[in-house]
Amino acid sequence: MTLEDLVRLRRARDVMDRDYARPLDVPALAKVALMSPGHFSRSFRAAFGETPYSYLMTRRVERAKALLRRGDMSVTEVCFAVGCTSLGSFSSRFTELVGETPSAYRARGHEADAALPACIAKILTRPRRDGRSVGPGEAGTAVP
């Protein structure tokens, strides 16, 4: 993979980070990266270790966690606010990444997280592929 390819892939990843709530699909992201959809998907996975869809859903779940911690939106409202169109798919992916349902996550206390600066809270609450987030007591494991 060339440096130019990596720059274009990062441009597409930046679009996902910034515009996660918009309808984004592989062909649209491939166009941003100036690649065919198949080449984009393979290259993205090789560069970042996950598929474009998986990366996008992780960003959406990450934002959903922040909205659910606030407690002023329903799970359905959060689902649509982060760009998901199916409550069932959103709930399944949220549960897979976080280890609990969106309703259970919203219902439990988040007082310990409230005292943390936003930049640290983002690191500690980032969804992980092993199905759990790093808790406040595990801060040393989240920062290299």
Is the domain of 45 the same as that of 66? no
Mean pLDDT, the chain, whole residue set: 85
On the question of pLDDT at 31 being above 70, the answer is yes
For residue range 2-16, list pLDDT tens digits in order. 999 999 999 999 999
At residue 71, the pLDDT reads 83
Q: What angle do CA 100, 58, 31 make, to 5 degrees?
A: 155
CA distance 31 to 73: 34
9 versus 129: the higher-pLDDT residue is 9
Q: Is 40 contained in some domain?
A: yes
Q: Is 56 contained in some domain?
A: no
Is the domain of 78 the same as that of 122? yes
CB distance 43 to 1 below 8 Å: yes
For residue range 61-84, list pLDDT tens digits in order. 999 998 998 889 999 999 999 999
CA distance 93 to 105: 13
Is the domain of 38 the same as that of 77? no
